[in-house]
């Protein structure tokens, strides 16, 4: 029989990956991707970042080229921050998953993922600081998900259910 700790670890790893990829598919942008986003958008506009940086270092970039580069970069950053309502972060550590800058939609996406990934009984209820879900799976795992709109955070806790019948 598979060890409960291994089952927890596999579930945790699977959920971290699934939540991150599902949010990315739905257009959520992760904060650590800002540099990549700027670089990709500059390349889409035909600006080669490495060439510009090299020209700046060697003193070969004209003032017009520099101005165009910085103006374009600034426009891209503004475009990025306009999407701030879709700016999020997923942190996986231990048996906890935190989703920062979350909202009702992200909470709903997490709930759908859990319902699709785990068989068991799910209870959803309102709490003073937001919403909470408790899912008791058929294989002895309990998952609690809390959404707090004040902190814009979803917190997921995965643990082994206690007092299991042998």
What percentage of the chain carries pLDDT values higher than 70?
91
The domain tally of the chain equals 2
Q: Which pLDDT band holds residue 31 (cuts at 50, 70, 90)? A: low
Residue 24's pLDDT is: 86
Q: Which pLDDT band holds residue 145 (cuts at 50, 70, 90)? A: very high
3-state secondary structure the chain: CCCHHHHHHHHHHHHHHHHHHHHHHCCCEEHHHHHHHHHHHHHHCCCCHHHHHHHHHHCCCCHHHHHHHHHHHHHHHHHHHHHHHHEEEEEEECCEEEEECCCHHHHHHHHHHHHHHCCEEEEEEEECCEEEEEEEECCCEEEEEEEECCCCEEEEEEEECCCCCC
C-alpha distance from residue 9 to each of 4, 20, 23, 158 (Å): 9, 17, 21, 9
Range of the domain at 143: 4-27+87-160
* 97 belongs to a structural domain: yes
pTM over 0.75: no
First to last CA, the chain: 13
Calculate mean pLDDT across residues 145-150.
92
* Average pLDDT over the chain, rounded to an integer: 82
Residue 165's pLDDT is: 47
pLDDT top residue among 35 and 155: 155
Residue 115's pLDDT is: 85
* 165 belongs to a structural domain: no
92 and 156 belong to one structural domain: yes
pLDDT at 164 over 90: no
65 and 97 belong to one structural domain: no
Cα–Cα distance measured from residue 57 to residue 60, given in angstroms and rounded to the nearest whole number: 8
Calculate mean pLDDT across residues 52-67.
82
């Amino acid at each position: 029989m598979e060890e409960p700790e291994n089952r927890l670890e596999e579930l945790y790893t699977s959920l971290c990956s699934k939540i991150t990829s599902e949010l990315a598919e739905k257009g959520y942008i992760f904060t650590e991707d800002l540099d990549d986003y700027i670089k990709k958008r500059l390349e889409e506009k035909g600006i080669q970042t490495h060439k510009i940086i090299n020209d700046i270092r060697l003193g070969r970039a004209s003032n017009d080229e520099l101005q165009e580069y910085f103006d374009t970069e600034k426009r891209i950053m503004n475009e990025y921050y306009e999407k701030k309502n879709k700016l999020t972060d997923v942190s996986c550590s231990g048996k906890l998953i935190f989703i920062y800058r979350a909202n009702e939609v992200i909470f709903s996406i997490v709930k759908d993922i859990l319902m699709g990934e785990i068989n068991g009984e799910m209870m959803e209820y309102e709490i003073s600081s937001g919403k909470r879900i408790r899912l008791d799976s058929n294989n002895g795992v309990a998952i609690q998900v809390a959404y707090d709109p004040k902190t814009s955070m979803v917190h997921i806790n995965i643990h082994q259910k206690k007092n299991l019948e042998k």
